[in-house]
Amino acid sequence: MSVKEEINKRRTFAIISHPDAGKTTLTEKFLLYGGAINLAGSVKGKATARHAVSDWMEIEKERGISVTSSVMQFNYGGYCINILDTPGHQDFSEDTYRTLMAADSAVMVIDAAKGVEPQTRKLFKVCGMRGIPIFTFINKLDRDANDTFELLDEIEKELGIATCPINWPIGCGKMFKGVYDRQKKAVVTYSDTEKGTKEGETKHIPIDDAKAVEEAIGKERMDILNDEIDLLDGASDSYDLEAIRAGKLTPVFFGSALTNFGVEIFLKYFLEMTTTPLARRSKGELIDPVDNAFSAFVFKIQANMNKAHRDRIAFMRICSGKYESNMEVKHVQGGKVMRLSRPQQIMADERKILDEAYAGDIIGVFDPGIFSIGDTLCMQGDDILYEGIPTFAPEHFARVRQIDTMKRKQFVKGITQIAQEGAIQIFQEYNTGLEEIIVGVVGVLQFDVLKYRLENEYNVEIKLDPLPYEHIRWIVSAETELDKIVGTSDMKKIKDLKDRPLLLFINEWSVGMTLDRNKGLVLSEFGTE
């Protein structure tokens, strides 16, 4: 198969949702249909339960939540599919944002009983910033659900995107009979299946075969369905593939990930509608995935995935061309040529050494400490530099203190590695050494993850003293000297890991006052990885 054919069969997407909407369960079912796993796991934090393949951290297994994104690949129907499963909890939205940078489209999972939830709105905005196509899977139809038309109306009003139902649910909860496939004009009947397998039978009945439809779902449900079809055909947005791929129209599917129903239907349609790997921007120009040689960017770094080796993996999205074993590439930010010797395909915490990979694929590369999030790799002689990944401004800050000062080396190593992953941001007091470390996080749960990981992965106990600061600003004006800035009483001068000067404030009004007092000072709410 040619490089072009290999790239064109790639589909790379992220799954996003509010916590508990069923995102990780849906991911497991995709893997099940692709033959990547034989039995789907449970994501609930019970000692007796199997854990989801994508939840590999011990803290994820204990709490039953995803706290870091994971990458999985499988083949289905002639496609090679890369799934990026993201954390649903808002405290880990920065990890989700970086992961979305590596995706060509997103699957948004919505709980049919809860509708659009706060985190769904935030994640949708992140997708909007990227302009990537969004596919909606309304889940948990095996339970009592909200009115279907109201769910669609809520998506349109809350998220500001038009909807086009591809299928339509027939009942919900105990009365969930199946779905109506609008494109094939057929009723697909629901047959309860074993929760962890893909066994089960589905039947497709043409809607014109009234007798067979009535036998399958009952006359009352058939009459309701016919009325709803008339309403849909008259009121909903028509199917428009161009609008879908432009991120202006979301196709909507209904089903139950837990019982498998609607999952394979969704997967088939999704693969037809979503795109081949998209071009990425470098220095204002688009780099075509097929016409250019190998290039990639680092979107995630994860330490200690393998407890036995205490290793550190840099996750890269291949943006163009083909990776071949032992090829030499240029690390643009480091200005060095290096050999990519043993890239891995990583299924959560399981690994497989790769001899080749193509644009659209996600590979994991052993990182001796040279990579940073946002770094570009390309072939020698190529002039490619992919746009950096913006960092979220931390909203919570704490001073970190070691319990045992004799373990300073492990402490510095651990907190630095976790910061390089992007899970936390660490700062130092201005004009002091490493003795005073301040941690900034987007959500307070990240403090718990930091404590847990330092203790379990680095054998270091810490105490976190909360700080009152809520606003952080990067200094972007080149001429400004930190020593000469005249601030307010609630302002604190700090610097980040790259020695860049920053300012912390307790009150937002202090930001404006500091700008007024310092002519030429320019502050930004965003840094760049």
| 118 and 203 co-located in one domain | yes
Q: What is the pLDDT of residue 36?
A: 65
In a domain, 186, yes or no: yes
The H or E element that residue 128 is part of is helix 118-130
Based on the fold, state whether residues 169 and 263 are members of the same structural domain. Answer: yes
Identify which of 69, 75, 80, 74 has the alpha carbon closest to the alpha carbon of residue 17: 69
Asked, for residue 96, whether it belongs to a domain, the answer is: no
Q: Which CB contacts under 8 angstroms, 24+ apart, belong to 237-246?
A: 237/162, 237/163, 237/164, 238/164, 239/164, 239/166, 239/183, 240/164, 241/273, 243/162, 244/133, 244/135, 244/164, 244/273, 245/133, 245/273, 245/274, 245/275, 246/131, 246/133
Q: Are residues 136 and 246 in the same domain?
A: yes
- The CATH number linked to 327 is 2.40.30.10
Together in a domain, 459 and 341 = no
CA 434/CA 237 separation, integer angstroms: 58
DSSP assignment of 44-83 equals S--TTSPBPTT--SHHHHHHTS--S-EEEEEEETTEEEEE
Q: What is the CATH number of the domain that holds 254?
A: 3.40.50.300
For residue 189, tell me if it sits in a domain: yes
Domain count along the chain: 3
pLDDT for the residue 47: 36
Supply 414's token pair.
Answer: 């651990």
Note whether residue 385 is domain-resident.
no
pTM above 0.85, yes or no: no
What confidence score (pLDDT) does residue 235 get?
Answer: 75
- Verify that 22 and 80 share a domain, yes or no: yes
Tell which of 273, 301, 317 closes a domain: 273
CB 173 within 8 A of CB 183: no
CATH of the domain at 400: 3.30.70.3280
Report d(CA 199, CA 100) in Å as an integer: 32
In this prediction, the residues of the chain whose per-residue pLDDT falls under 50 are 40, 42-57, 59-69, 88-92, 194-196, 348
227 belongs to a structural domain: yes
pLDDT tens string 54-111: 443 454 444 444 434 467 888 899 999 998 876 544 444 566 777 788 899 999 999 9
Q: Residue 51's pLDDT is what?
A: 42
The residue whose two tokens read 């309860």 is 192
- Together in a domain, 42 and 183: yes
**Shared-domain flag, residues 26 and 156:** yes
Buried b (16+ CB within 10 A) or exposed e, 21-60: bbbbbbbbbbbbbbebbeebbbbeeeeeeebbbbbbbebb
Q: Which of 378, 401, 433 is the last residue of a domain?
A: 378
SS3 100: helix
Residues 227 and 315 grouped into a single domain: no
Would you say residue 95 lies in a domain? Answer: no
Residue 8 pLDDT:
95
In this predicted structure, what is the pLDDT of residue 433?
Answer: 54
Q: Do both 224 and 139 map to the same domain? A: yes
Do 224 and 297 sit in the same domain of this protein? no
Is residue 98 included in any domain, yes or no? Answer: no
- What is the reported pLDDT for 191? 65
Q: Domain residues for 57? A: 3-66+76-89+106-273
Predicted confidence (pLDDT) per residue in 173-230, tens digit: 888 888 999 999 999 986 655 444 555 567 889 999 999 999 988 899 999 999 999 9
136/174 same-domain check: yes
Find tokens 């196709």 and name the residue.
Answer: 251
Please indicate, yes or no, whether residues 210 and 62 belong to a single structural domain of this protein: yes
**94 inside domain:** no
Residue 50 pLDDT? 40
Q: Which of 251, 273, 295 is the last residue of a domain?
A: 273
- What are the beta bridge partners of residue 319? none
